[in-house]
Amino acid sequence: MDMWLREGQIEDAVMTYKVKETLVRKKTKYQDLCIVDTYALGRMLTLDGIVQTTIKDEYVYHEMITHIPLFTHKNPKKVLVVGGGDGGTVREILKHPSVEKVVLCEIDEDVIKECKKFLPEISCGLSDPKCEIFIGDGIKYVHEHKNEFDVIIVDSTDPFGAAEGLFGGSFYKEISECLTQDGIFIAQTETPFYLPDTVKRVYDDAKAVFPITKLFMAGIPTYPSGFWSFTIGSKKYNPETADLSNTIDIDTKYYTKQLHKACFVLPKFIEDILE
């Protein structure tokens, strides 16, 4: 008998994946956690039935949410990741030699534990001595740390349920206060194809807080529509015009310096959404 994983994040559309084996499924304190091995995409992490990452395409998301802000900032030394318990964002951050410390603030300790066990290619950076893991509420952590981080990456699940508080103007104001005077914030901000209202709301909330706010896109096959947005808010540096001529070369599969500039060129329908 064939086993299929069915994701129904979008009300009127579903995505399905043929499963070889269920490696772990458990109810954590916060959510339903499952890691399966699929035929098409390798091992896959889902939370509450929604795909978070897969071995085959995780590099797109993790490289774009990391290298755009870190190469835009002139000298990022201290980085905060809110969410991101799979560890992929931390792995990419650690490719930047200027970074002295990464704090991963993850509310669900079981995500970290199971990803270390079943997704070592993604979670490998979590054991690095530069990485400090804090188990707790990201909103509370940000509130209690002022003027401390050069870059803050909100690597959260979708803006529903437990993660809803990580999207919105009040949290972005707290993030601004947690950042240093030339700090940069970035978050994954959903699909403009299926959730245009969410994309616009989050973009407008960030724009009300940060003097430089930009939205860019990346192609991520396992996220609904395969067309995903990220919103970056900066106090000083413009990611679209960043001088990348003297930046180091790092090992990537998706991000390039040319793509860094090109990803901010938006299709007309997305420009219309943001207007």
Catalytic residue among 57, 108, 150, 155: 155
Instruction: Could you list the residues known to form a binding site, using ranges.
Output: 31, 62, 86, 106, 137-138, 155-158
For residue 107, give both structure tokens.
């509310």
Q: Residue 145 burial by CB count (10 A; 0-12/13-18/19+): exposed, middle or buried?
A: middle
Is 251 part of the annotated catalytic residue set? Answer: no
Instruction: Could you list the residues known to form a binding site for S-methyl-5'-thioadenosine, using ranges.
Output: 31, 106, 137-138
Instruction: Could you list the residues known to form a binding site for spermidine, using ranges.
Output: 62, 86, 155-158
Indicate which residues carry an active-site annotation: 155
